[in-house]
Amino acid sequence: NNNHNYKTVYAFAREMHPKTEKFDVQYGTAGFRAKASTLGYVMYRMGLLAVLRARYKKGCIGVMITASHNPEPDNGVKLIDPCGEMLEQSWEKWATKFANVGDDQLEEVINEIVTQLNIEMTQRVEILVGKDTRPSSPSLAKALCDGILALSGKPIDYGIVTTPQLHYFVYCRNSRHEYGLPTEEGYYRKLCNAFKKLRGQKFDVGNYSNEVFYDGANGVGAKKIKYFQECLGDSLKIGMYNDELIGTGKLNYMCGADYVKTTQSFPHGVPQEINQRCCSVDGDADRLMYYYLDEDKKCHLLDGDRIAILIAEYLKEVVESTGLEVDLGLVQTAYANGASTKYITKKLKVPVSFACTGVKYLHHQALKFEIGVYFEANGHGTVIFKKEFKEKLRSALKDSSSDEVKSAIEKLLVVIDLVNETVGDAISDMLLVETILHSKGWSVQDWEGAYTDLPNRLMKVSVKDRAKIQTTDAERRCVKPDGLQDAIDAIVDKYNAGRSFVRPSGTEDLVRVYAEASTREEADQLALEIALKVYEMAGGIGPEPTL
Ligand code: G16
């Protein structure tokens, strides 16, 4: 009989972290997200679950406390699996169940999972805990650690770190340091050494100038970039902005990658220098957005699509110089600008596949390729290199007699070191973009010149129950409510190069609308028409959407 008595778990829950909310929560695109004040018991229970997951996987697990791009009063939690990837989907239902049962049912649920999955409960497991800069994070971390301790797990507190840093630490620990050292110092060293090697001694090349403005979104990315700057020295000058004190309410406020992308405008708090290359990260530094202001003070965006293309093109070139055959592919979501998809397939001749929003879906699809580049238009993404491919590179390095080939392979191996393969990492991505622009001698305008984005517009619609909207075909078509997709098709038909889709957000309580068309006015108008249709047919609440 595997049944155990988890009385202390229940006592702790009842006394210290009782379930306070009546409404069920769901483990979504990026774990649980809600108002921080409602999350204490959810954290406690995720502490319990993390220990069970670690014992099941016989490795260490990570738990990150963050609500990323959401406003400062929100918070959230996501679990990180042993190889640094997001929690396996089949466990999301356990997470949801753990979060929603009554305090007095906790014992029972624990017994259920232990029995069903045959989890060995004696193993002493380590749970790595990280948090962003939200003022609510320390007390939520305490609740989480109470949960870990209640099942005799060992919490290892990494303090304030970026989400991708924690993913990296988890993988380093489980790979027995093969991937790197599981410390902050180890992480900075690995990335900065790779960057400096690729940069060489000449910092300004052609149209490339060695200075970038960086918007830290008043979050953890603003703190951590300082260590990079120290480590990078003169090899990259980073103008650092938006680093307000913790708790000032400025996190992601009118700044950061999500603000820049959704409003398509220049963030507050960054000097408005014409033609200066700038970038923004989001609240937990896993998304990156590039942009600049032209002479008319118009803000030009270089988003995740552009970053993906820049990286894919570069990798293709480097791989070609090694003389090896490689299967390189790119993964996008429905948000990818139509012009970018056309450029990738027609010009770059790299295959593209589509996934649902959420890096866990993109990551999964990218695993199919030897080199898989995946990016969401919102700037969330990375590159993954198959283990066998890395081995192929290493043996080709040993076997080749050509110095040219050898140095191309060596270069590619250093590029791989610069990438945080575990998950999208804004700072690692930034260093990769800077490396590529430098190697091509490109200004940000040269980069933008490859193709012209179709004008596009994002809108949000509040509805009574966003679960009423259901989609298919990588979220490009809507199957519920009945008739909505037909209505969307009829509206889209009226616009030149029109495309639009709607989907329920996985991180906020609203429906998102995307539209693109051949002119700015048309894209705006199309988005508005679709938003109004959603409001009408899917139970809109509050004021009607307006531009
Ligand atoms: C999270 C996910 C991303 C996703 C984004 C928006 O980002 O990790 O993959 O694109 O939410 O999701 P939705 O449109 O469903 O709200 P982050 O940066 O907030 O963790």
In order, the DSSP letters of 56-81 are: HHTS-EEEEE--TTS-TTEEEEEEE-
Residue 13: per-residue pLDDT: 80
Question: pLDDT tens digit string along 85-126?
Answer: 999 999 999 999 999 999 999 999 999 999 999 999 999 999
Say whether pLDDT at 522 is over 70: yes
- Interatomic CA distance for residues 111 and 149, integer angstroms: 17
Residue 471 in contact with ligand 1 by CB distance below 6 A = no
On whether the CB atoms of residues 28 and 86 are closer than 8 A, the answer is no
Amino acid letter, residue 345:
T
On whether the CB atoms of residues 43 and 78 are closer than 8 A, the answer is no
Residue 3: per-residue pLDDT: 55
Say whether pLDDT at 1 is over 50: no
On whether the CB atoms of residues 63 and 55 are closer than 8 A, the answer is no
pLDDT bin (cut points 50, 70, 90) of residue 341 is very high
Distances 6 to 14, 62, 471 between C-alpha atoms, Å: 13, 23, 41
Q: Catalytic site residues?
A: 68
Distances 125 to 52, 121, 149, 308, 485 between C-alpha atoms, Å: 9, 10, 10, 37, 48
> Tokens 């002479």 — which residue?
295
**Computed over its alpha carbons, how large is the radius of gyration of the chain?**
23
Residue 475 in contact with ligand 1 by CB distance below 6 A = no
Number of helices followed by number of strands (H, E) in the chain:
18, 19
Residue 470 in contact with ligand 1 by CB distance below 6 A = no
377 is in an annotated binding site: yes
Which atom of ligand 1 is closest in space to residue 282's alpha carbon? 18
Q: Mean per-residue pLDDT for 484-491? A: 98
If you measure from the C-alpha of residue 506 to the centroid of ligand 1, how many angstroms do you get, rounded to a whole number?
A: 7
506 is in an annotated binding site: yes
- Interatomic CA distance for residues 195 and 416, integer angstroms: 11
Residue 121: per-residue pLDDT: 92
Report the percent of the chain where pLDDT is more than 70: 99
- Interatomic CA distance for residues 398 and 401, integer angstroms: 8
Element (H, E) at 501: strand 499-504
Q: What is the DSSP letter of 28?
A: B
Amino acid letter, residue 289:
M
395 is in an annotated binding site: no
Residue 11: per-residue pLDDT: 81
- Interatomic CA distance for residues 65 and 546, integer angstroms: 34
Residue 223: per-residue pLDDT: 97
Say whether pLDDT at 339 is over 50: yes
Pocket test for ligand 1, best of 27, 29, 87, 261 (most atoms within 8 A of CB): 29
The complex scores an ipTM of 0.96
User: Which residues, 6 or more positions from 543, have their beta carbon under 8 angstroms from its beta carbon?
Assistant: none
- Which residue, judged by its Cα, is nearest atom 17 of ligand 1? 68
pLDDT bin (cut points 50, 70, 90) of residue 4 is low
Question: pLDDT tens digit string along 116-143?
Answer: 999 999 999 999 999 999 999 999 999 9
Question: pLDDT tens digit string along 394-413?
Answer: 999 999 889 999 999 999 99
Amino acid letter, residue 111:
N
In the chain the domains, ranked by start, together with CATH numbers, are 7-160 (3.40.120.10), 186-301 (3.40.120), 304-423 (3.40.120.10), 456-537 (3.30.310.50)
If you measure from the C-alpha of residue 368 to the centroid of ligand 1, how many angstroms do you get, rounded to a whole number?
A: 22
On whether the CB atoms of residues 42 and 147 are closer than 8 A, the answer is no
On whether the CB atoms of residues 76 and 30 are closer than 8 A, the answer is yes
If you measure from the C-alpha of residue 30 to the centroid of ligand 1, how many angstroms do you get, rounded to a whole number?
A: 6
In order, the DSSP letters of 145-168 are: HHHHHHTT-EEEEEEE--HHHHHH
Query: pTM of the predicted model, to two decimals?
Result: 0.95
On whether the CB atoms of residues 200 and 96 are closer than 8 A, the answer is no
Residue 282 in contact with ligand 1 by CB distance below 6 A = yes
434 is in an annotated binding site: no
Which atom of ligand 1 is closest in space to residue 506's alpha carbon? 15
Element (H, E) at 114: helix 106-116
Residue 376 in contact with ligand 1 by CB distance below 6 A = yes
Question: pLDDT tens digit string along 21-49?
Answer: 999 999 988 899 999 999 999 999 999 99
Give SS3 for 279: strand
The tally of CA atoms less than 13 A away on the side-chain side of residue 236 is 31
- Interatomic CA distance for residues 502 and 515, integer angstroms: 9
